Each structure stands twice: as structure tokens, then as C-alpha cells.
Chains A and B, each alone.
Chain A
Amino acid sequence: MRDVAVIGIGMTKFGELWEKSFRNLFVEAAKAAMTDAGVDKIDSMYIGCMSGGLFVGQEHIGSLMADYLGVAPIPATRVESACASGGVAFRQAYIEVASGMSDVVLAGGVEKMTDVDGGMATYALATAADADYEGFHGATFPGLYAMMASAHMAKYGTTSEMLASISVKNHANGNLNPFAQFPSKITLEGVLNSTMVADPLHILDCSPVTDGAAAVIVASLDVAKKLGAPIVRIIGSGQATDSIALHGRDDITTINAAKVASQKALQQAGLSINDIDFAEVHDCFSIAELIVLESIGVFEPGKAGAAILDGYTARDGKFPVNPSGGLKSKGHPVGATGVAQIVELTKQLRGTAENGRQLANAKRGLAQNMGGTGGSSTVHILEA
């Protein structure tokens, strides 16, 4: 395997972008990433997208985006792993360059979610669960994560305040991110008094419905050096699966796919979780961030809540988590999220995070992206 680096990043502002179409979003992010890398040609590209079919009635996304980016006839492949589509697209680009098949590959992600109403968006997202045995019974994503929260609370005494503090922390970070959908600061009381979506999760425990795209350029280290681009190396990559249905897991208070993916990525890098300085993790719901941090070994099972409430994962804490604002504040265009995490890691590792969001000691970062309730997960480790 060859050494591989991220040499270019780009993303659209995340939000309800009614004036921009599905293809507009992707092309804007892809152009920004290519410009940032200083490349006008790519060998191939991967596009993470969960459900072009249900959100905008469009499949065959590789062809569409290669056409509108003006890069046809290069190979272009749409990658789907629900909300982990972006992370898997990035991993495919990494593998293609590491293998020697290509030198410069674009990994992007896109989702246009606001062209349908709320009921349809909830339904589209619910297809990431088991359609015949969860969705059929009226399960929603907030509902499935709420059930994980109920079990975690019963087993470990985790509280709604602990969960709310995750949203408060992520909005404090997103407040400094010019690309964030909801940059407003929020309070513990504000979260706890917000509308209940699925007990015990309030609406401010939940990431929003978002339009947006992100893209990165991945290149062999040799090519990166020739281009003179700022180099952020990919030193670990892991991907894993678990039962698609939440009820198929032995223990629903942990996410085994995240655990296995992180172990693989750390093993490849020759590191332990203690060697990582900060992380972007998949906080589609507050409880998701808490369980992921326990699953990847940042905290022992049941110990995350108190530590988070105590500021351990704040920007100035011992292990900053989601300095971008996370899915909660930055927004969650599902197919783009995994790539947007790589954008944030790269900014932090280059030392170019905006508005005082830059972490003091960012040498190695970890990105964890997740599909469904943890039916799939990727973990990547990047180094300055």
C-alpha cells in the first residue's frame, strides 16, 4: 500500500438551501476541493449519497455528477451506506489511491433533504433501519436512538442533563463555524425544555434535516509533494458492520461497528486511542455521541456522561470532540456528513480552523461516521 494524503477540501454552507439543487451542491463542493488542492484533473471519484431516490427522485448519481462537474468520462461511483455513505466514499478513494490504481481521487458526499416534507424526510431516513421489521412498526430514527438512550439510562444511570450537555457543547463549537446550519448557542435548560420527539430525546438532542455537500481530494504522497499542497496523511482506515436492526444486537448500549472500525484504524496506524488528540464523531443524536465515545474506548462503558458534563470533550478539554459543531449544530446532510468530518479534521490539522475554533494541540485526529443505528461505521485517522 502506498502512503496517501488529503490535499484539498471543500464544502458548501450547510442549511436549508432552497435556491440550490442536488447537483449544484455537489459541484460547488467538488470545485472548492479541487481548487484548494490546485488540481484541474482527477482520476476518478466517489460520491456518498444515502437516498437521491427518495429525497429528489434521482439515482445514477455517478453519471450525473461527473457530467455536471465536467470531468466525464472518468469513473464516478455513488456509494451508499446510509448516514455513513460519506465515510465509505472516502475509504474507497483512499483504497484506490493506496492500491496504486489511481493517483488523484475525489471523495465527495451530498444530500438534498428539503425538497420533501417532514413526514417524507422521516420516512426516507427510516429506510436506513430494517424496513420490514423496524420501519414497518412505526420506528423512526429518533425513536431507535431514544430506545438506546432508555437502555443506557437504565443500565448506567445516564441522565437527560448529560445528554443535553452534548448538544450545548456542539452548538458552542458550531457557533464559530461559518459553514454551520444552526450556529446559535443553546443552554442546558433550553434543551431540556424543548419539544419531546421520542422520549427521552428532545428536539435539541437531534441533528437537523440539512442540504449540503462536502468533498476532499485524496492523492498519493508522491503526487502531493510534487503539487506542493499542504499534506495531511491518512494513517488509519477501518470499516465494520453490525445487525441492521437495533433489536438484533446482544447489547444495545454499545455500538460494535464503531468499536471494530476504530480498532482496525488504530491498529493500522500503530496507535492507541490515547495517542489521538481530538475527534469528529457521528452525533446524529446526543446519545449517539455518548455511546460512540464509549464504544471507541475514549471512556469506559457508562463513564462518558459524567465526564462530558464536566467539560472533558469541550474545545479546551482533555479530548475535544466535534470542534466543527458536529452533526447537531453544523447540520447533517446524511451522505455528505462523513466527508465533512474529514474536512474538519484537515482544517484542524493544517491549523486553519476559522474564528478561534482552532484546537491548541491538533496533531492527530479521528473521524467516526455511522450508518443507521450502527449497522455500519467507518473510522479514519489523519495526521498533520
Chain B
Amino acid sequence: MADTLTARVWREQPQRYRMIGNKDKATGKVYFPPRQAVPGNLNPEMEEFNLSGTGEVVACTVIRVAPTPFTDLAPYGLAVIETPDGVKLTAQITDVPVEDVKIGLKVKFEFRRIFEDNDASVIYYGYKAVPM
């Protein structure tokens, strides 16, 4: 994952650092990451929406065979998490033994280091989930 350009890093910062999505004013549906078009509406009126920062595991696994650049981190918990805003997203579960990563686990999101790109000397940050 040898990204040598930092634009790709800072472009995603609002989502990854602050979990900012957007909300369709007409339907009230929240999107994360933010959308420019939604089903049935090419030009929706959207407003910025900050996810509430908590959620519940609805599907999960333990990654034991990891891809570049996560090989040193394995085994790690990974989950699909549903937030109270009606959004589902994928995140690592950390600060808990992998055996305890279970459907129904209540979590909150924290700002963490995700991985390092040694070629580009870039450290990627974002959200990980920890048990509440």
C-alpha cells in the first residue's frame, strides 16, 4: 500500500478523524462516508452530520491472516458496527482479547493509529472501536 501522495490522506481526514458524514434533509437518512447522490435523488439537499461515536457489533471476525501492511498486527478483531444514527461501518475492535469480540458487543469509537506506510513515511490515523 505504497501511497506516496499525501492528498489521499488529508482528503479523507474529516471522515477518518472526526467521523463526519452527511444527512439527506428530505428523508433524514444519514450517510457515512458522505454522499453526493442518493438512491432516487441525483441532487439531494445534504447537511453535514457528525456520527454519535458509539455502536453495536452486528457481524465480526478475527483476522488471523492479514494483508500488507497489517501483517504484524494479526490476530485482530474486525467488525461491522451499527451506530444509533442508522449507519453501518467497518472497523477494528481493539483493547479487548480477540476471543471477546462478539455480536452484540457495545462499542465506542476512538482516534487511533491504523497503519504506517514505511515507503512514504506516512502514518495513517482513523477510528477503531473499543468496548464501552
Contacts and interface: CB of A to CB of B under 8 A. Distances in A.
Interface residues of B, number: 33
Contacts of B124: 136
Contact of A137 (B61, B71, B103, B126): B126
Contacts of A197: 64-65
Chain B interface secondary structure, helix, strand, loop or mixed? strand
A120 interface: yes
A140 B67 contact: yes
Interface string B56-96: 00111111111110110100101111000000111110000
A139 B68 contact: no
A40 interface: no
Q: For A123, A135, A136, A137, which residue has the most chain B Cβ atoms within 10 angstroms?
A: A137
B14 interface: no
B67 A119 contact: yes
A198 to B, nearest CB: 5
Given A123-B1, A143-B78, A150-B103, A138 B92 contact: yes
Chain A interface secondary structure, helix, strand, loop or mixed? helix
Contacts of B78: 137-139, 143, 147, 198
Contact of A142 (B65, B79, B115): B65
A247 interface: yes
B2 to A, nearest CB: 11
A122 B68 contact: yes
A119 B71 contact: yes
Interface in B1-39: 1, 12, 16, 33
A198 B64 contact: yes
B55 to A, nearest CB: 11
Interface of A: 118-120, 122-123, 126, 130, 132-140, 142-143, 146-148, 150-151, 154, 195-201, 245-248, 252
- The 8 A-B pairs of least Cβ separation, nearest first, read A146-B61, A147-B59, A122-B67, A247-B88, A151-B59, A119-B68, A138-B70, A123-B67
Interface of B: 1, 12, 16, 33, 58-68, 70-71, 73, 76, 78-81, 88-92, 103, 114-115, 124, 126
15 contacts: A119-B67, A119-B68, A122-B67, A122-B68, A126-B67, A133-B89, A137-B78, A138-B92, A139-B63, A147-B78, A147-B79, A150-B60, A198-B78, A201-B61, A252-B58
